[in-house]
Structure 1
Amino acid sequence: MPSDLADPPTPVAPACNETVAEEAVSLAESLLAESLRITTPAETAQMKRVGQLVQSPQAKSLSMLMTDRLFRSSTAERTARGWRSILMQVSIGKGFGFWDRLQLRVGAAASKYLPATVMTLVRKRLRNEARDVILSAEEPHLTDHLASRHRDGVELNLNQLGEAVLGEEEAAKRLEALLSLLNRPDVDYVSVKISAIFSQINLVAPETTLQAIKERLRLLYRAALPEKKFVNLDMEEYRDLALTVAAFREVLDEPEFKQLSAGLVLQAYLPDSITVQQELTAWAQKRVATGGERIKVRIVKGANLAMETVEAELHDWNPAPHRNKHDTDAGFRRMLEFACQPENTKAVRIGVASHNLFDIALALVLRSKNAVEEAVEIEMLEGMAAPQSRAVREKAGDLLVYAPIVNDADFGSALAYLIRRLDENTSPGNFLASLFSLKPGSKEWEEQKERFLSAWQHRHHVEASPRRLALPESKGKGFHNEPDSDWTQVRHHKALTNAEVSSVTPPEADAVTVDKTLAAAKASQDDWKAAGVAKRAEILRACGDQIAATRFESIALLREEGKKAISEADTEVSEAIDFCRYYAETGMDPQGVHAEPLGTVVVTPPWNFPFAIPCGGVVGALMAGNTVILKPASKSARIGWWLAQQLWEGGVPKEVLHFALPSDRNAGRALIDDNRADAVILTGAYETARMFQRWRPSLKLFAETSGKNALVISALADTELAAKDLIKSAFGHSGQKCSAASLGILEAEVYDDPIFRRQLRDAAASLRVGPSSDPASIVTPVILEPDEKLRRALTQLDEDEQWLLEPEVSEEDPLLWSPGIKLGVKRGSWFHMNECFGPVLGLMRAVDLDEAVAMQNEVDYGLTAGIHSLDEMEITQWKSKVQAGNLYINRGITGAIVQRQPFGGWKKSSIGPGAKAGGPNYVNLFRTCTDLEPAPVEQAREDYQRAWDAHFNIGHDPTALRCESNIFRYRPSHGVILRLVERDERSENLARLAGETTGTPLTISHASEESDEDFAARLPRLAESNEFIRTVNGPPADVVLEASHEAGLNWIDAPMSVSGRLELTRWTREQSVTETMHRYGNKLGGSRAIGETT
């Protein structure tokens, strides 16, 4: 369960005299000397190779890339091409020996002609390099290895690796494998993470998760009990700490397991572990005092630092681990000192898991001085630093070796462990990485000694409170995203439990009330404009603070009326806060022009994001100086009313922001039809946008509409990660996000892979389906009764389609559907081309990447698109061809965050100029900007080019995360049609100049030469090669607008400006490109882990 741990306890007094550190240093030196004496020539060569990798980041990067990528595709040609691509990216430097460099160069050349032969040899070499680190679980290899280790007096702690545990079927298989190991007479000790035996860990439902974990844990403990075998609970992610400890304690508290000795891991890089260790010890002492068995705590430094840093960065949290390695080392030694006190070892045995000879020596000294040798065990990793292991075993008298095992068929799934070990072996400052050059008295040895002594002195001053409890560390001035709720913390659960849901029924507005609302909004325009941008920004920031203060009340309402899962509701509230603060920061009037608000803006949001999306539209329009009328979706009217109250409470005058819930269709149409509504912001279906345009052709409509979004999965992808991201993208909020992945376009090798299909089905079938009132629910009811499209998608199969997972409707709730996955969706079929907006995913088979991209682009929409591939050449090719506003690489395709991923689509997914919500140009949509004074065209030439070079022709990443690239860029429009009612040579010249600067084709039509009717008749043909129709002096005739709308052209009405920063936004399309920039926390293109310190 989540735990807000208490303040750190008073530091304990040292257990021994002050000579401990000096004795440990002396013993460590002795252990090093002995290990050097017994090192074999083969081990010397291995240490030399490690040393070369440490000294050559390029060599380390190349090794990690090959390890990660050469087991992805089963096709030799694809793998060979990917291998050559890696060798082109990273030079083969002196980090490899002469023969290795020669083999790499010759192999790369030969792979063009003999790919199968060469790649078989390369893969065999990599497997051989890993065979001592990851043991084969196949027979007779495992039996022989266990027998050999037992003869050497080494006990093995086996950790069964395998496929990623994406669903309950795989979790059951992993549990069965562990039970089989425990039934073997030659196995006495196993380790397992809770995430390996339960796939649906859900921090917002800790009690449900805890009960499921306890059920599986009982099975393992029962298997271990008869022969007193040992089950150790591993720890990896910070999120698992409280759950693991709670499950461990609660199951062992049951009478059935009172006589069972079992253990768990505590990671010293977590400040929390110090307090948890002391709490566990106090509990174990009571257990032993009442006749129970001792427990064991295995103390490790922690091997998930990079991924903890990634998670914290993505969520704007403080990283859970200590700030630096020095604090981690100090925490480790503090925990070790506490563990070795005699009164503690009576209840808790200790495992000291480290390859650092100073830490091992310290443990040996402490246990000897305290006469607790039987309670303190040294643990090391299989296949790592073998000479040191032998020296330690000889001195300690015994040794426990942590040994991962994997079936040959699952070797590719063990790559994450292998890469972590490679990184650990070669990270600067790491003891293992220094072993190749360590000798008693050497400079490197003295540096390690000083680090040890410094951390020992610091041990009682190291932080011992959870870092997540603290407020996020200051990031300086400017905009920063609001952190999501951290569900590892009890206070957030309590706040949600105590949140009161607003039950106020919002007032309805008939046609008369709508008329009065429009009049009141118009009457307040001048005063709101006169308030000025600085005052409006101040109010928006206050609104952001108000929404933050009522976060959990908003979540509660989104769950109740919006039927959202807690995690989905939480991120929506964060987005609303971000909109307020971001537009306050970036929405100032543009320089060098006169900015005039449009007037009164009507905001018509959808029901699927009923809080964040209307908030963004409202505050964006307000920042530009407009008065606003918020018309919520009828299915989420209470949420809209609650939002309005929060904004009023934040300081927005009620005469500036009006709320109108139409009582019927006529009242709703009156809001759109009336000329007093100067603009409408719509988020909804494309058909709704077209209906608005038919009602009122001259309406300034800014619409984000539908999406038929696809995630492409290449044969060179990490398919386990791809499956996880595809399921999350398809079924988050029951598939009711406009950005949801409705299609998975799989390269043939992936589509045909039965393992991938099984993983995908397992992951989807394991999602908790239930009401939003259940915190454990992931797939919740759809908001509306399924329409014709969605019902067809959920209940019918077209030609050659079949269910990989057939959706089912709940007997209790006709709106609650389980996930569905279709196989065999054909190119051009109904499901390929139609948006369905519900929990159903279609899978398509593409022969290669070119066909996959063609399938992705063939739909009418272009909202979000994604690809999973580890090959840079494929990614580059995809980015240059795919047609969508938001691109995602090696991650899910939903969850856009303000500023990081400004959101908005291309093609039929967007109507209007196309500036993205949450982006730098959004507020300017709601202003009319004119030059302060007419300037010469030559001045515009200079300003256009300057703006193009400095802003439009480069990518922007203002968030600048280390783990993820978020590039905001501009793409030239397909073409602009300039329609001039009167001759306007200046506008023509500026338009030609803008077209030349951006590379956008320009077509000019003069009303004096081409009648409105003739021009309208020509528009369908012009629309084939153009995106925008531009006017500069007000709307053209309705016949022109009707024809342009029907043809799918986006209308922009704005005077031409000499300001390049302003004008060129109308000649380009915005695009957000998000790419995961790490593998297991290691930065792509580099060798250092994110969060690593030296």
Structure 2
Amino acid sequence: MSIQSLTTKQHKELVAQALEFATKLQEQVQDSISARERRFYYKMQHIIENPEYKALFIELLDSSVHTKDMAHNFKLIKRILSRYEFGGFFTSYEKVLLFVFLQVGRYAPNLSVPLFIQQIRKDSSLMLAFGTPESSANSATYYFIAKRALSTAIIHDNIKLCKRALESRHITHISIKPSAFFIWLWGGDYARMQGDLAQSLQELFAYARAQQHSQGVPKVITLDMEEHQFLELSVNAFMEALSGYGEIEAGIALQAYVPESYSYLERLCAYAKDRVDSGGKPVYIRLVKGANMQAQKLYASQHNVALPIFSQKLHTDANYKKMLHYVMDSTRYRFVKLGVASHNVFELAYAYTLIQHCVESEYREHFVFEMSMGISMQASRILGTYHKLMLYTPVCDDKSFKDAIAYLLRRLDENTSEENFMRNYYAMRVGDESWQKQEAMFMESLAYIPQVSSAPICQRDNSSEACLQASIYEMDTDFFAQATYHKFAQALAQDLPQARIQASFGASVDNDEQAQIISSFDGQSALGEVVFATAFDEKALLAPYSPVENLSAVFSKAAESLQARRGEIIKLAALESGKVPMETDMELSELITLLRFYPASLRDLCAKHPQVSLQPKGRGLVVGSAHSHLSVVFSAVLASLACGNQVVFKPSSLVVCSSFVVCECLWGAGIGRNVLCFMPMLRDRFQQALAQIPADFFAFAVGFGQARSMESIALFQPNLLAHTIGFNAMIVTKFADYDQAIAHAVSSAFFYGGVGLRKLAVLIVEQSVFDDESFRQRLLECANSLRYGSPLELDSALGVVLDKKAREKLEKLQGAKLESSLPYMGANIIYTTPDGLQDMERHLPVLYVIKAADLAHAIELANTMSGDICALESLDEDEWGYFHSNAKASTLLINEPTIHTASAQIISAPIGSLMRKIGARNDILQFARCVQNAPDDNLATSIIEPKFKRLLESGELGEERERILHNALLQAKSYVYYRNAEFNVSHDYAPEYGKKHLLSYEAVRAVAYRVSAGDSLQDMLGVIIGAQACKAKLIVSFEEINEELEFLRQNLASLGLLAELVQESRDSFLARIHASQMVRYHASPNASDPIYKTAVIHRKPVVYAKPFANGRFELLGYYKERVLSVAHHRYGVFAESKLAKLLG
């Protein structure tokens, strides 16, 4: 009888028999646990009771692969042990050995550390085999833990590893993971990734067939399952590769905690039937519950999507049985073999009972039990006497030990999770509370089978209504999905409408001038006609405009339009500037995130500060470059519109067409064309037109790489805010995970076209790493594995056109003629010296590599560069702290790439090289004017309060002065409150699982304040109190002394205020600007004012707004924002103790 034909009564009887068999199994296990297993249980129980011991165990394992420097490894191990104070994790005997190790081992670390590592690995040997087995029973499946593929060279090494295993007569079954056989680092092309995986599998299947014929024993390869995003890719590649190899047996694993695994089971069963009907062998399917929960949580958090797997064990268990039931049908089990993988005796007993009663006798061998090595060995031996059982045996060598640690962690997570059967396995007795709880869970999951869904939890459709109404963060595009590939392929194949683009804010072109045709990067097609403005329209400069109403609704509608036109914009950007599809897609996701972020940021600020209103600044000019032109450049446009300003937007002439489409989406959503004014203008005309802009305009420039580009704008528009491109650096120390560092360096340097504001320019490598030939070779292999070519091809990681100018630059950098005749440029790695960085090229996909003596030297080198971002690759928390304290970049990353492969991470990794960060909590305040409507309620005690009160109570001031001092005291109390509550603490502004994104502030140290004619005593006191609250050295400079200044001179000390009052000429003050970090000057911005001119030349920010009563807004002028982003997880274990030390 099949399970589908069972009546309810018959099924209940079988369940009762299964429970009886489970009881029998458990009693037999209890009576035969070995001494070694009991010692293992002792450790497992302490991990269960004290989860921090899991981190201890993993860190000790990790320490064995840190570095070849044994003296440092000794210090590292000592620090790890002292952090956890030995604890109950170790036996008494082991504690004695540890004591001896710590006392004596430091004198001979080259001897003691390897012995220690050997002992630690011995502890893991119950669950892990080291080296290729030389002998084996036929009942073992060897899982070869191979390195994840960062390059084609690693793929070839992994294939060789598997071939060597297949050559052994002792090995008949091997298991492999998908990510070892295709380059997952660049996920832009689903078809190419599937093809690479299928090609690797075909090579292995062909070799297995040959070895099977020559040895006369079966050779079975099973493809394991990893993260959810690899599911579709793996199944499709497996079926594609296995076609044509009917005479060998092969298998694939399916995870029950993935809802759609049931649908893939149906597909595989149908495929298996066709295969057997054609004369082939059955397909083997390993049914597992899944043990990648931490990795799935990390992925979901990073990519702004829902957790794609069942979060409740009830649902996973029910789906497991549902999938088991599906195969328990004669129309299916004749064509497939099923590996029932579990350590839960209830699941095993239930499956055994069904096999005996619902499967025809000749097909019972199609069902095999699978249990992992080292976990309940007694249960596996006992169950093996009843039915065929395969022992799943992980195998690794020194090269792949880091990957083995990740496997061990999954096993520990599986065994110690709250509801897992193995949590209390060794202490469990039939009939006790734990047993009854597990039995109840088993019965509950049986009852839940009809309700469990097979529909995907996470629908990665950016255009869906649910996604458009989601949280601030835009859902990332799923580049591992076949549907995404087809969508992008269709978008790139579609014809684009040609538009005539004309400036909406510029003066009309002369009659003899014609519209210019914008051609594609290769000159093969016309994208449209553009009528460039020749000057600003003076009438439009004075035309009235209305701020955007219903901001959230308008921006939401604009986001919908962008989603609808995503494909069109992606192709336009590819054709006009050579941006690869993933680069443009990332920018569009960031842009949509910002459309949600700015209204929310504005609402949040207004709600927290009801006494303050944020008013429009007025009219502003946004000047954009071609770098990140759809996200970072438009951030200034959106923030300005959100604050009610009129925006004149001048895009780069290289990206006019795609910029215009984005503006069309904004106009279509309800933003007036006289509010967002599109003004394409060629560079020469723009420089001439700058002089026409009225002084009350504010300006914002984004993405320019050279200081002179900024200065040319600022000399005409001193009220300039700018985010520039610098040379970002990444430091790799000898305590880094080399594979992770290589992956992060290559992705940061070359992803998304290899250019942009977040591009990694310089890799600074510590001497010992630099001298490691293997590191250099792997770095080069990884970079060379990135495909480059036409930006219209989805598999192109780079689409940079190698024109004559670019070719000449690259040949000069490399000192040799280029052999390639291709019109596109690949990834280039150039080893040089610090002196050789003088001629760095920012517009080509080039990564410069230099060496440093140590971390201190590396940071010293990084601090000489103009980059906004500096990253550190290290697993040593002492190095984290030193880096945090000494690196000067405004964005610091630890074990993070400078460019996230996640699309909408602009807020969790904000950028910006001056005072404010794009996408951070204060970004929008750059575009608003603060108005105090009522006194602030948030006040704190100030140390100057007693002295102020003493002078106020003296009766010597007069009514007006008393009012001024009273207001100044309220300012001081507000400043102190917000200094302590906002500016002296770190803010985790973008919570992400396994990571911290901390916004902090760094106060300026020196402020130069030039008193202007309109400054009152209230203004002067506000500046002095603000600088003192931030502990900045203040110089108050003035031309002539007046009554207010004389009052200050006489009463400064008695008021408890600190400042240096200097009477000097303007020229003397100009000489001070260079040594100051910030200039305070309240005269309106004027291009002809020498103070503004000098500040521009020395690139010093000028705060021209008069002091504000609310410290939250006033003190922003005295602080620079800094971001520290830390990936504090390792194999899914969160290094909270390391993080606490860093932040403490």
TM over 0.5: yes
In 2, distance between residues paired with 1:575 and 1:288? 49
In 1, distance between residues paired with 2:1106 and 2:104? 62
Relative distance call for 1:1011 and 1:794 in structure 2 (3 A) is farther
Kept after mapping to 1: 8 A contact 2:372/2:391 = yes
Kept after mapping to 2: 8 A contact 1:83/1:108 = no
Tell me the residue number matched to 2:324: 336
Relative distance call for 1:597 and 1:518 in structure 2 (3 A) is farther
Tell me the residue number matched to 1:660: 679
AA at the equivalent of 2:202: R
1:528 matches 2:520: no
In 1, distance between residues paired with 2:589 and 2:316? 32
In 2, distance between residues paired with 1:647 and 1:839? 33
Tell me the residue number matched to 2:502: 507
Relative distance call for 1:772 and 1:55 in structure 2 (3 A) is same
AA at the equivalent of 1:267: Q
Tell me the residue number matched to 1:1091: none
Q: Which runs of 5 or more residues in structure 1 are unaligned? A: 1-10, 799-805, 1088-1094
Kept after mapping to 2: 8 A contact 1:218/1:251 = yes
Match runs of 1:46-57 below 5 Å:
46-57=40-51
| C-alpha displacement of 1:517 | 5.2
Q: 1:1012 aligns with which of 1063, 1066, 1072?
A: 1066
AA at the equivalent of 1:282: A
AA at the equivalent of 2:825: W
AA at the equivalent of 2:488: L
AA at the equivalent of 2:190: P
Tell me the residue number matched to 1:566: 581
Tell me the residue number matched to 1:890: 895
Relative distance call for 1:826 and 1:731 in structure 2 (3 A) is same
1:1000 matches 2:1000: no
In 2, distance between residues paired with 1:679 and 1:785? 39
Q: 1:1081 aligns with which of 1123, 1126, 1132?
A: 1132
Match runs of 1:802-817 below 5 Å:
810-813=820-823, 816-817=824-825
In 2, distance between residues paired with 1:551 and 1:252? 37
Relative distance call for 1:77 and 1:99 in structure 2 (3 A) is same
1:18 match: secondary structure: helix
2:736 match: secondary structure: coil
In 2, distance between residues paired with 1:969 and 1:365? 61
The range that moved more, 686-695 or 409-418, is 686-695
Kept after mapping to 1: 8 A contact 2:647/2:676 = yes
1:796 match: secondary structure: helix
The range that moved more, 460-469 or 594-603, is 594-603
AA at the equivalent of 1:737: G
1:196 matches 2:180: yes
1:231 matches 2:215: no
Q: 1:33 aligns with which of 27, 30, 34?
A: 27
Please tell me whether Structure 1 or Structure 2 has the larger radius of gyration of its CA atoms: 2
The range that moved more, 175-184 or 631-640, is 175-184
In 1, distance between residues paired with 2:1129 and 2:201? 33
In 1, distance between residues paired with 2:713 and 2:466? 50
| C-alpha displacement of 1:389 | 1.6
Q: 1:1063 aligns with which of 1114, 1117, 1121?
A: 1114
Tell me the residue number matched to 2:260: 272
Kept after mapping to 1: 8 A contact 2:852/2:858 = yes
Match runs of 1:678-827 below 5 Å:
678-687=697-706, 690=709, 692-693=711-712, 696-782=715-801, 792=809, 795-796=812-813, 810-813=820-823, 816-823=824-831, 825-827=832-834
Tell me the residue number matched to 1:481: 473
Match runs of 1:842-991 below 5 Å:
842-859=848-865, 861-895=866-900, 897=904, 900-901=907-908, 903-905=910-912, 909-910=913-914, 914-932=915-933, 936-982=967-1013, 984-991=1016-1023
The range that moved more, 1042-1051 or 463-472, is 463-472
In 1, distance between residues paired with 2:440 and 2:681? 74
1:561 match: secondary structure: helix
| C-alpha displacement of 1:840 | 1.4
Normalising by structure 2, report the TM-score: 0.86
| C-alpha displacement of 1:688 | 5.5
In 1, distance between residues paired with 2:198 and 2:928? 59
1:661 match: secondary structure: coil
The range that moved more, 630-639 or 185-194, is 185-194
Tell me the residue number matched to 2:364: 373
| C-alpha displacement of 1:482 | 1.0
1:467 match: secondary structure: coil
Relative distance call for 1:1074 and 1:518 in structure 2 (3 A) is farther
Relative distance call for 1:664 and 1:515 in structure 2 (3 A) is closer
Tell me the residue number matched to 1:4: none
AA at the equivalent of 2:924: V
Give the share of equivalent positions with the same residue, in percent. 23
Listed one character per residue, the Cα deviations across residues 816-870 of structure 1 (whole Å, up to 9, x for unaligned) are: 21111123x323x1327845232111222222221221121122x1401111222
Kept after mapping to 2: 8 A contact 1:959/1:966 = yes
2:829 match: secondary structure: strand
In 1, distance between residues paired with 2:686 and 2:734? 54
Kept after mapping to 2: 8 A contact 1:522/1:627 = no
AA at the equivalent of 1:960: P
Listed one character per residue, the Cα deviations across residues 317-341 of structure 1 (whole Å, up to 9, x for unaligned) are: 1222113222111111111122232
Q: 1:208 aligns with which of 192, 196, 202?
A: 192
AA at the equivalent of 1:841: L
AA at the equivalent of 1:758: Q
- Point out 4+ residue stretches in structure 1 off by more than 6 angstroms: 470-478
In 2, distance between residues paired with 1:244 and 1:190? 17
Supply the RMSD in Å over aligned alpha carbons. Answer: 2.9
Match runs of 1:1024-1035 below 5 Å:
1026-1035=1076-1085
Tell me the residue number matched to 1:830: 836
1:452 matches 2:442: yes
1:129 match: secondary structure: helix
In 2, distance between residues paired with 1:210 and 1:309? 24
Match runs of 1:427-446 below 5 Å:
427-446=417-436
1:1002 match: secondary structure: strand
Q: Which runs of 5 or more residues in structure 2 are unaligned? A: 213-217, 510-532, 935-963, 1041-1062, 1139-1144
In 1, distance between residues paired with 2:418 and 2:650? 58
1:584 matches 2:599: yes
Relative contact order, CA 8 A, sep 6+: which one is greater?
1
The range that moved more, 424-433 or 278-287, is 424-433
Relative distance call for 1:431 and 1:182 in structure 2 (3 A) is same
Normalising by structure 1, report the TM-score: 0.89
In 2, distance between residues paired with 1:830 and 1:647? 45
| C-alpha displacement of 1:204 | 4.0
Tell me the residue number matched to 1:349: 337
1:358 match: secondary structure: helix
Kept after mapping to 2: 8 A contact 1:168/1:762 = yes
Listed one character per residue, the Cα deviations across residues 180-225 of structure 1 (whole Å, up to 9, x for unaligned) are: 2212222211112232122257654222222222222222111222
In 1, distance between residues paired with 2:686 and 2:709? 19
2:419 match: secondary structure: coil
1:436 match: secondary structure: coil
Tell me the residue number matched to 2:950: none
Listed one character per residue, the Cα deviations across residues 955-984 of structure 1 (whole Å, up to 9, x for unaligned) are: 222332222211111111232221212364
| C-alpha displacement of 1:483 | 0.6
In 2, distance between residues paired with 1:594 and 1:484? 35
1:712 match: secondary structure: strand
Relative distance call for 1:593 and 1:218 in structure 2 (3 A) is closer
Tell me the residue number matched to 1:7: none
In 1, distance between residues paired with 2:909 and 2:282? 55
Kept after mapping to 2: 8 A contact 1:694/1:1042 = no
Relative distance call for 1:395 and 1:506 in structure 2 (3 A) is same
1:383 matches 2:370: no
1:35 match: secondary structure: helix
In 2, distance between residues paired with 1:963 and 1:13? 48
| C-alpha displacement of 1:375 | 0.8
Tell me the residue number matched to 1:317: 305
AA at the equivalent of 1:1051: V
1:506 match: secondary structure: strand
| C-alpha displacement of 1:487 | 3.2
In 1, distance between residues paired with 2:73 and 2:810? 37
Kept after mapping to 1: 8 A contact 2:506/2:536 = no
